[in-house]
Amino acid sequence: MYSICGVKLTMPRVLVNVMSSEWSVHFIGPDGQTRIGPWLLFDSHDEVRSLLRWGNPSDADMEEHESSIRRWGCSSVAWNITDKQLAQLIERGKGWPWNGYQLIQMKRAGKYPQSREK
């Protein structure tokens, strides 16, 4: 929660799912079901950490992420982000129809990241 002029407001909760295979990341919206934004692929765990910090996760959430990645090769981190940040994720997803598998194939073929479709 955050407050403006003493009024408590609920921040949208977004779940960030990370897989160490190809360092793929995707986002699940506040309803817990809707995929928002694009799938993203990264070259390293450090790049994933930088993305995760954008959503201001707690230190405990980051520690759990590190542990889960080491143990299972995947993790989920909850973000409580602002409406503006949520809008940025949704906007970024426009013109990115590919799923994670398609992105991996594009990356292996040297075609990722590709410019967005218009």
How far is residue 101's CA from residue 24's CA, in Å, rounded to a whole number? 10
Q: Is residue 61 part of a domain?
A: yes
Q: Is residue 3 part of a domain?
A: no
Q: What is the pTM of this model?
A: 0.77
Within a domain: 93? yes
Provide the pLDDT for residue 33.
Answer: 87
Task: Please check whether residue 24 lies inside any domain of the structure.
Answer: yes
pLDDT at 97: 59
Residues linked to residue 17 through DSSP beta bridges, in sequence order: 26, 76
How crowded is residue 110: how many other Cβ atoms within 10 Å of its Cβ? 6
Which amino acid is it at 50?
S
**Are 62 and 52 in contact, with CB atoms under 8 Å apart?**
yes
Indicate whether 116 belongs to any domain: no
Whether residue 60 is contained in a domain is answered as yes
Return the bridge partners of 67, or none.
none
Those residues with Cβ within 8 angstroms of residue 93's Cβ, 6 or more apart along the chain or in another chain: 36, 37, 38
The reported pLDDT for the residue numbered 111 is: 79
The pLDDT assigned to 15 comes to: 94
Q: What is the largest CA-CA distance in the chain?
A: 53
pLDDT of residue 5: 43
**pLDDT of res. 77:** 94
Strand partners, 40: 25
Work out how many domains the chain is built from and give that number.
1
Q: Is residue 74 part of a domain?
A: yes
Round to whole Å and give the CA distance between 29 and 89. Answer: 10
Residue 58 lies in a domain: yes
Q: Which residues form the domain of 77?
A: 11-108
Per-position pLDDT tens, the chain of length 118: 444 445 444 678 899 999 998 899 999 988 888 888 778 889 999 999 999 998 989 999 999 999 999 999 999 999 988 888 888 888 877 766 567 777 788 888 887 776 655 5
